Amino acid sequence: MPTKFSRLGFEKRVIRPDGFYNILLNRKQVGFNLDLRINYYRGLPLSCVQKLEVEVDGEKIPEHLMQFQLREKVFTISELPNMYREYWGSKTPAQLLIYNYGLEPGEHDVNVTLEFKSPYMDFGPGEYGVIDGSAEELLQLGTAREL
């Protein structure tokens, strides 16, 4: 069983406040965007992401409503374990596009559960250290943007 490590002290970097806004398609509100960075000092292949969940105001967002975008490439959450060649740099924000028809204006409690294995902590065949890169923030919803 992999060892789970505590957070590394970068949790304030995980959720980017300026990347929290409703998204529009043909001027119609279709969901919201959440910019994320990894809570680690090194970049990782997307295949290292083992768990990615989002709660807004205590309500869990179903996985089928989420898409993960990194440098103009878009993936479903279930595709991430197979993305060995897609590299998420520690300073590179990813966009989590959530198609739930958007959020009401104002403040929202956003809780992101992000767990990833570290290929740099290899404990044996198929056994890696697991990093808890989760974060929670009270965020003000920004101005809506067109996709």
CA dihedral 21, 62, 94, 45 (to 10 degrees): 180
* CA angle, residues 8, 34, 85, in degrees to nearest 5: 70
Distance CA 70, CA 28 (A): 24
Distance CA 134, CA 112 (A): 5
Q: What is the pTM of this model?
A: 0.89
> Over the chain, what is the mean pLDDT?
91
Over residues 75-106, the pLDDT tens digits come to 999 999 999 999 999 899 999 999 999 999 99
Over residues 98-132, the pLDDT tens digits come to 999 999 999 999 999 999 988 777 777 777 788 88
